[in-house]
């Protein structure tokens, strides 16, 4: 398996609830590497670019409003199979379907505020890392 990089976000709800350390600890215990990490409040333009594939969906405005509502933590995480590995570590998007032991299974209660985001494939990882860490990866 190849070394991959992926974008991981601790969304505003995770930051507000003090779960950044828990998320980082789980990433590190899994054996992945943090190559970059930054606490920031996302600008609306960047949020719209990040969620561009959802622009035609009715929930697009809510996604953008939520992700820009308060600080988040953006990370570049790397390792063998990091994309699939992080998707498993995060759990299903809908926390009610997320496996206990996953981040969402243990901490999230609703789909709109589900603690974390992770890139879903190689192309999206490259695109998303370019949005959050331009020129670095």
Non-local (6+) Cβ contacts of 85 within 8 A are 30, 32, 79
Residues designated as active site: 117
Q: What is the DSSP string of 13-46?
A: HHHHTT-HHHHHHHHHHHT-EEEEEEEEPPPHHH
Task: Report helix, strand and coil shares of the chain as percent, to nearest 5.
Answer: 45, 25, 30
Non-local (6+) Cβ contacts of 115 within 8 A are 10, 11, 13, 14, 17, 19, 23, 90, 103, 104, 107, 108
């Amino acid at each position: 398996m190849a070394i991959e990089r992926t974008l991981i976000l601790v969304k505003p709800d995770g930051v507000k609830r003090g779960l950044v350390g828990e998320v980082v600890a789980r990433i590190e215990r899994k054996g992945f590497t943090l190559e970059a990490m930054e606490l920031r409040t996302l600008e609306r333009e960047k949020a719209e670019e990040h969620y561009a594939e959802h622009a035609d969906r009715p929930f697009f405005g809510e996604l953008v409003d939520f992700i820009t509502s308060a600080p988040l933590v953006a990370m570049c995480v790397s390792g063998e199979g990091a994309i699939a590995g992080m998707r498993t570590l995060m759990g299903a998007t809908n926390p009610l379907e997320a496996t206990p032991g996953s981040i969402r299974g243990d901490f999230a209660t609703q789909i709109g505020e589900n603690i974390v985001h992770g890139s879903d494939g190689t192309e999206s990882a490259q695109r998303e890392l370019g949005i959050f860490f331009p020129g670095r990866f």
